[in-house]
Amino acid sequence: MDNKEFYIGWMPAAPGGLAKHIRKVVVILIMLVITAGIILALQQKKFSTATFEFGQLTEITGIYQQFPVPSIKAMSNLDASGHSSSLTIPLVGYGKSGAEGIIAELEKEKNTTLDKKTVTFRGTLLYSDGKTLLQIDKNDDPLTKISDAVVNVPPAIKELGTVRLTGEILDPKCYFGVMKPGQGKPHRDCAIRCIAGGMSPVFYVRNEKGEANYYLILDAAGKKMNEQLKDIIAEPVSLRARAVQYDDWIVLYIDGMNKITRTGGLSWFKTKDGDTYCGVSHTINVSE
Amino acid sequence: MSASYVAVGWNRQKKIYDWLIAGFCFTYLLLFISVTLIVNEQVTFETLLIRSTSTLAVLLLHVILAIGPLCRLDKKFLPLLYNRRHLGVTMFTFALAHGGFSIFQFHALGNTNPFVSLFISNTNFNSFAAFPFQALGFFALLIFFLMAITSHDFWLHNLSPRVWKTLHMFVYLAYLLVVMHVMLGVIQYENNPVFVIIILAGAVTLITLHLLAGSKERKLDKRKFSLEQEGFMYVCPAEEIEDSRAKIFCIDKERIAVYRHENKLYAIHNVCKHQGGPLGEGKILDGCITCPWHGYQYLPHNGQSPPPFKEKVSTYDVKIIDGKVWLNPVPFPEGTERPGATIK
């Protein structure tokens, strides 16, 4: 640059030497932009295959059950040996709300209770990792059929004893389909809002093989404990609970918040989730 | 420099600058979005929007913060400074897209107002690891918002340069908030240390540039002037000051620019009334001292901007004895005419 050159922005053009230098800077910035765009995009953690069938309504028929969480128990057709299997599909509401509100509205509207009745719900499916949920929204006219009689098909219940697990409390709607990522620190506020809105919290545990297990959470009396969980949602925690299997879901009965402890810390340099996010001490100890 | 306010005083250079900003942003978004879709096809539209805009805003913020010290270190970077506010408003626009959509995504459609939810959902203020990082981002966005809406010279004049400059210095607090927003947020979720490395590399680069620029100025400020004669300090030989240029001297913590113009020396306060630019690093053009930052102009003999402009800076007495320049550091009121000193 010639020392006599002087740049003024309101002049029509920059002096030659300065313009030449700025052209070099522009080339460097282009390289920076390209490098940053590619590196940042490539290094993101892989997103899950969870699916939210946004805009697509599906009708599901099954037995509505209020416990352990509002859900539909959908039965498969009989196989060759005359047996059928069931799939429990927890219900969630629109936005960041649980299904209780809309179920109560529907019961009031139909002037009947839905528990243990055969119903057909129309809603939006979300699913991942073998778990399926159904979003029901008042605007979709969700209850299309309801039987008059109560159906007595009790769940297959199995006591699994006391368990110690390390994992993360998350909201199932986001995790199983609506958001990616639907877990961890970036999603914490949303998970807190969803669980505060009545969504049934789910405990996510990853075992040594990297397989995920999911549990429903209730207090020792079988009541929801959404409010108490607020401060430990979406971070690594260890808990001790009585585990009971209801069909294809396991419920953790947690006897007070002192049974849950934080295990995590700053996790800037982990290489895989198992390192800090979901520890592996999850073996079910039936005898404990 | 303009006597009246227009939204943007477009000229050829400004258009080139803005086209380049648009080109950079478009290239970045195109690359980030397309590479993510190719290698991570399960991504949702919402996440793509949140991440592409946030990473672009952080990248732009680093460039913006690097421009100042780069210009202090080397005048060749000055063309990047003139329209830096365009870069700032662009950065704010992307940060707003990120913040606005994140608030909707993570807080809307719940059982409380999204803005209330932002502050009452995660309340782990006593834990560093679990700290509510979204609130940090919100306050950074608020600072960027205030800076963006006051970026026009209309606000600079109405708020006064001192208030305006103070407000805009909050960009450093905003930067700190952004770094913590990222470090306590998404980086705790991601497995790859490259994100930590990138953020730390960015911070180290900016800190180094600012320290280097600061040290350069400190060196200038620390120079001692011991020879004193009737209130005048000896500063340098007269031939050291090039024609139409100046030398800057810091006496009693005030920087004074001594300009050479038409075989005479004139001394004025070094700080431009516009944005505090170093007048002594400028040049005399059309008989006016011209600030290197944004081209504001002052007459050398009285420190006044030529009519119809109204800016004024302090003037000082200067004299030459036996080819040596003597400067009186006591300022005259802004805009006071001084005779200057003739170089024989």
Q: Which residues of chain A have a CB within 8 Å of the CB of B67?
A: none
Complex ipTM value: 0.91
And the tokens for B152?
């026009």
Q: Which residues of chain A have a CB within 8 Å of the CB of B153?
A: none
Instruction: Give the pLDDT confidence score for residue A274 in this predicted structure.
Output: 53
The torsion region of residue B287 among left (phi > 0), alpha (psi -120 to 50) and beta comes to: left
Instruction: Give the pLDDT confidence score for residue A271 in this predicted structure.
Output: 57
Q: Which residues of chain B have a CB within 8 Å of the CB of A33?
A: 24, 27-28, 31, 59
Among candidate residues B271, B259, B255, B264, the one with its CA nearest the CA of residue B313: B271
Instruction: Return the residue in B191, B279, B283 with the most chain A beta carbons within 10 A, the one to mutate for interface testing.
Output: B191
Flag if A194 and B110 touch (Cβ within 8 Å): yes
- Asked if residue B299 lies in contact with residue B316, where contact means CB atoms within 8 angstroms, the answer is no
Q: How confident is the model at residue B2 (pLDDT cuts 50, 70, 90)?
A: low
- Who among A9, A38, A273 is closest to B83 (CB)? A9
Q: Domain B228-342 is of which CATH architecture?
A: 3-layer Sandwich (2.102)
Instruction: Give the pLDDT confidence score for residue A287 in this predicted structure.
Output: 43
Instruction: Give the pLDDT confidence score for residue A277 in this predicted structure.
Output: 42
pLDDT digits (tens, 9 = 90+) for B285-304: 999 999 999 999 999 999 99
SS3 label, residue B243: coil
Flag if B129 and A6 touch (Cβ within 8 Å): no
Look-up of token digits 């350069």: B216
CA dist., res. A114 & res. A106, Å (int): 9
Give me the residue spans of the domains in chain B. 12-220, 228-342
Q: How confident is the model at residue A276 (pLDDT cuts 50, 70, 90)?
A: very low
Q: Distances in Å between the alpha carbon of B243 and those of A153, A217, A245, B247, B263?
A: 99, 81, 90, 11, 8
Instruction: Give the pLDDT confidence score for residue A275 in this predicted structure.
Output: 47
- CA B183 and chain centroid, separation: 25
- Indicate the Cα dihedral angle B97, B98, B99, B101, nearest 10°: 70
CA distance A45 to chain B (A): 6
* DSSP secondary structure letter of residue A234: T
Whether the CA torsion B339, B331, B307, A15 is positive or negative: it is positive
Which domains can be identified in chain A, with CATH numbers? 51-150 (2.40.50), 157-285 (2.40.50)
CA dist., res. A180 & res. B42, Å (int): 8
- Asked if residue A170 lies in contact with residue A212, where contact means CB atoms within 8 angstroms, the answer is no
Q: How confident is the model at residue B62 (pLDDT cuts 50, 70, 90)?
A: very high
CA dist., res. A272 & res. A270, Å (int): 6
Flag if A30 and B82 touch (Cβ within 8 Å): no
Q: What is the CA radius of gyration of chain B?
A: 25
Task: Tell me how many residue pairs between chain A and chain B have CB atoms under 8 A apart.
Answer: 210
Look-up of token digits 């420099």: B1
Q: Which residues of chain A have a CB within 8 Å of the CB of B47?
A: 47, 179-181
And the tokens for B127?
């834990």
- Asked if residue A201 lies in contact with residue A188, where contact means CB atoms within 8 angstroms, the answer is no
